[in-house]
Amino acid sequence: MVDIFGFDTLLAQLMMAMGLAMVFGNGFAMWKHARGEGPKGFRGVYRPGRARFLLAAGIAISVWGAISLLT
């Protein structure tokens, strides 16, 4: 039975988009930290373990979403 609204496809697309946003966001934070830059107007500690974990989680979520779209 074909889903009228395509919620299965929409959910896979949203998961892939969320995963890619996590990958790009944490990758950008790691790149900025490597260059010695930080966010303007914000004081905080860069946590490399958290950035790497969220980068890996983002990769896993985006791959899961992409595989869901292809199957």
The pLDDT of 2-16, averaged and rounded, is 82
The pLDDT of 27-36, averaged and rounded, is 91
Comparing 28-32, 37-41, 46-50, which segment has the lowest mean pLDDT? 37-41
Is the pLDDT at 30 greater than 90? The verdict is yes
The confidence score (pLDDT) of residue 38 equals 79
20, 33, 51, 8: CA torsion to nearest 10: -10
Predicted TM-score (pTM) of the model is 0.82
The residues, any chain, with a CB within 8 Å of residue 20's CB and separated by 6 or more, are: 58, 62
The confidence score (pLDDT) of residue 2 equals 57
